[in-house]
């Protein structure tokens, strides 16, 4: 039968490990136990007591901690919807890629009229909505960008042909009847070249779009916003 002193040491060790914010090494455990306590023996005894239970005492990298039993991990997995804040810059970039693909970054900047930050493309890449495609057969061989299947899934589109068309956008007053790139090129001929402003100088507050590609598709408002951003 375990003596009262050792039983109290074991209880102290158990409480210490449960309350620790991070795994503890033998030195840290010994320093917290009463003088003369057999830290190594107590750890082995406590580990044996928790063996086969829902929580196990394990040693990783010479540090001790309580961990959920590995075979129970799938039962404790939690899933939740995450809302990703998509900036107006990223929304406009996505819309231009969707309607003008394959399109280069320089062409995106020309259509938007501002210098695109790296973050706009990074956000769309992270969401899986755009991907790099072939290089353009032009000086410097710039990389082109296209949308992905994840983009179609999110917006509930069977294909790019289901995006709102030019006639629909014109009827809504959202579309310049001239192609965007050609229109910008004409403006550049008539006006002196000027350095494009940065996104921070012209953009409003970010929008919020769902980050769940396999969840509910985008609302009609989101699709209209996408079309409007492409037309601006």
Same domain, 211 and 168: yes
Asked if 8 and 68 sit in the same domain, the reply is yes
Q: Which of 33, 20, 31 is nearest to 64 (CA)?
A: 20
Within this chain, do residues 114 and 203 fall inside the same structural domain, yes or no? yes
Last residue of a domain, one of 75, 98, 133: 75
**CATH at residue 161:** 1.10.10.10
- 215 and 109 within one domain: yes
- Which 8-state DSSP code applies to residue 198? B
One domain for residues 117 and 200:
yes
Q: Supply the pLDDT for residue 196.
A: 42
Contacts of 34 (CB under 8 A, 6+ apart): 8, 9, 12
- Total-model pTM: 0.44
Q: Are residues 118 and 170 in the same domain?
A: yes
Q: Cβ-count burial of 151 within 10 angstroms (0-12 exposed, 13-18 middle, 19+ buried)?
A: buried
Note whether 157 and 213 are within 8 A (CB).
no
Quote the tokens at residue 175: 């579309």
Q: Which of 75, 95, 128 is the last residue of a domain?
A: 75
Whole-number Å distance between alpha carbons of 226 and 98: 9
Query: Tens digit of pLDDT per residue, the chain (232 long)?
Result: 557 778 899 999 999 999 999 999 999 999 999 998 999 999 999 999 999 999 999 998 889 999 999 899 888 887 776 666 777 888 888 888 888 888 888 888 888 887 766 778 888 888 888 899 888 888 888 889 999 888 888 877 778 887 877 666 666 555 554 454 444 444 433 443 344 444 444 344 443 443 333 333 444 555 556 656 655 5
- Residues 172 and 218 grouped into a single domain: yes
pLDDT of 31: 94
- Give the pLDDT of residue 60: 86
Q: How many domains does the chain have?
A: 2
Q: Do 55 and 132 belong to one domain?
A: no
Tell me the three state secondary structure of residue 138.
Answer: coil
Q: Which domain holds residue 97?
A: 83-231
Predicted local confidence at residue 43, as pLDDT: 95
* pLDDT, tens only, 42-53: 999 999 999 999
Q: Do β-strands 63-68 and 55-60 pair in parallel, antiparallel, or remain unpaired?
A: antiparallel
Per-residue confidence (pLDDT) for residue 217, from 0 to 100: 41
Residues 182 and 204 in one domain: yes
Domain check: are 65 and 153 in the same one? no
- Quote the percentage of the chain above a pLDDT of 70: 68
Among 75, 97, 116, the domain boundary falls at: 75
User: What distance separates the 2 farthest-apart alpha carbons in the chain?
Assistant: 97
The pLDDT of residue 216 = 37
Q: Does one domain contain both 114 and 215? A: yes
Instruction: Say what the pLDDT of residue 207 is.
Output: 38
116, 225: one domain: yes
């Amino acid at each position: 039968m375990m003596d009262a002193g050792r039983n109290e040491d074991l209880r102290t060790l158990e409480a210490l490990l449960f309350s620790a914010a991070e795994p503890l090494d033998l030195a840290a455990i010994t320093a917290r136990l009463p003088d003369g306590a057999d830290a190594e023996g107590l750890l082995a005894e406590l580990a044996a007591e928790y063996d086969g239970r829902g929580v196990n005492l394990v040693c990783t990298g010479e540090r001790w901690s309580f961990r959920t039993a590995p075979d129970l991990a799938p039962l404790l997995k939690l899933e939740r919807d995450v809302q990703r804040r998509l900036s107006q810059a990223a929304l406009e970039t996505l819309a231009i890629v969707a309607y003008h693909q394959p399109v280069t970054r320089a062409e995106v900047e020309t259509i938007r009229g501002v210098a695109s930050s790296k973050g706009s493309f990074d956000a769309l890449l992270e969401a899986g909505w755009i991907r790099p495609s072939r290089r353009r057969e032009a000086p410097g061989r710039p990389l082109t960008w296209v949308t992905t299947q994840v983009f179609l899934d999110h917006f509930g589109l069977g294909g790019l042909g289901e995006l709102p068309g030019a006639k629909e956008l014109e009827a809504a007053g959202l579309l310049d009847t001239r192609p965007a790139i050609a229109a910008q090129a004409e403006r550049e001929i008539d006006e002196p070249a000027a350095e494009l402003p940065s996104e921070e100088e012209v953009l409003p507050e970010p929008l919020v779009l769902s980050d769940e590609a396999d969840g509910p598709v985008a609302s009609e408002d989101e699709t209209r916003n996408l079309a409007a951003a492409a037309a601006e």
